[in-house]
């Protein structure tokens, strides 16, 4: 099996658009639809025909282009069962434990409520790739608009069970500002300090910091590190439970 092709391009203010292409099967999926015009231009440039949209959640910078793209291409829209009523044009509802084939590539679905109550992520185990929407960001995680810290922490734990080599494609370029916050709660984390220097170089060159890897996030993302003694000490929660540490970290970030 050939590795799946992924075309990444900036959309709107700080979103990323993704086209996932299986040439042998003639299948092309857009991961979310931040901007129909930009997605159509990317399809055109590649000479790819859109066959699917895979939505992670209902926010307009993720599903706002659904109807336009469906009208123009006749593509099939896959999205979260738990939020089907808020996904424009949805054809197929999926949720935790579901799996399907995208061309010749297996896609596994995980419910990750927290940012929204119906958020899902897509994991391609044969490609070591995952599309995590607004659940996990490089050195950050999604804001809790519709979920509790306990829900989000359990969602993130599902991601933590994937292989460390998994490349994580998140939906926004928030890395540098996330990292600035991360340094305030884990100033003694050498891997984090090192990563921020690298991120500064990459951004200065105008390049994306996404995708990241699960290994790098485990080492530097405070929202995946509630067991870190340094983090616990900085936020005054030494010995507290993981969900308590996660909740306080998220609250501090909201006020940062
Ligand atoms: Zn969102
Ligand atoms: Fe978003």
CATH of the domain at 14: 3.60.15.10
Question: Residue 1: what pLDDT?
Answer: 73
pLDDT of residue 28: 98
- 7 is a catalytic site residue: no
pLDDT digits (tens, 9 = 90+) for 204-225: 999 999 999 999 999 999 999 9
Q: What is the C-alpha separation between 213 and 136, in angstroms, rounded?
A: 11
Read off the pTM.
0.98
Tell me: pLDDT of 2 over 90: no
Q: Which ligand is nearest to the CA of 58?
A: 1
Residues of the domain holding 16 = 5-254
Q: What is the mean pLDDT of residues 81-86?
A: 98
Residue-averaged pLDDT of the chain: 98
Band of the pLDDT at 147, cuts 50, 70, 90?
very high
Please determine, for residue 75, whether its predicted confidence score (pLDDT) is greater than 90.
Answer: yes
> Residue 6 above 90 pLDDT?
yes
238 alpha carbon to ligand 1 midpoint, in Å? 32
Gap from CA of 171 to ligand 1 centroid (Å): 8
Say how many domains are in the chain: 1
Q: Which of 57, 58, 105, 119 is catalytic?
A: 57
Separation of CA 38 and ligand 2 centre (Å):
16
- Residues surrounding ion ligand 2 at CB below 5 Å: 61, 134
> Quick check: is 57 catalytic?
yes
pLDDT tens per residue across span 186-200: 999 999 999 999 999
> What per-residue confidence (pLDDT) applies to 54?
99
115 is catalytic: yes
* Separation of CA 221 and ligand 1 centre (Å): 19
Mean of pLDDT values over 137-150: 98
């Amino acid at each position: 099996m050939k590795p799946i092709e992924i075309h990444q391009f900036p959309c709107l203010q700080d979103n990323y658009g993704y086209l996932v292409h299986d040439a042998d099967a003639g299948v092309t999926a857009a991961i979310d639809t931040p901007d129909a015009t930009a997605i159509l231009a990317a399809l055109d440039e590649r000479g790819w025909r859109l066959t699917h949209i895979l939505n992670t959640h209902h926010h307009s910078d993720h599903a706002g282009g659904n109807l336009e793209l469906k009208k123009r291409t006749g593509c099939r829209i896959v999205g979260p069962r738990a939020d089907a009523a808020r996904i424009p044009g949805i054809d197929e509802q999926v949720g935790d434990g579901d799996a399907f084939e995208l061309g010749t590539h297996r896609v596994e679905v995980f419910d990750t409520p927290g940012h929204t109550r119906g958020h899902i992520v897509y994991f391609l185990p044969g490609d070591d790739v995952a599309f995590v929407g607004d659940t996990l960001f490089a050195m950050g995680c999604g804001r809790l608009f519709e979920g509790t810290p306990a829900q989000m922490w359990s969602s993130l734990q599902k991601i933590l069970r994937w292989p460390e080599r998994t490349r994580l494609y998140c939906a926004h370029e928030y890395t540098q500002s996330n990292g600035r916050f991360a340094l305030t709660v884990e100033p003694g984390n050498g891997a984090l300090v090192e990563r921020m220097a690298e991120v500064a170089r990459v951004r200065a060159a105008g390049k994306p910091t996404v995708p990241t890897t699960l290994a790098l996030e485990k080492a530097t993302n405070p929202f995946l590190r509630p067991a870190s003694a340094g983090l616990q000490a900085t936020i005054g929660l030494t010995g507290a439970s993981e969900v308590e540490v996660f909740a306080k970290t998220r609250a501090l970030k909201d006020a940062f």
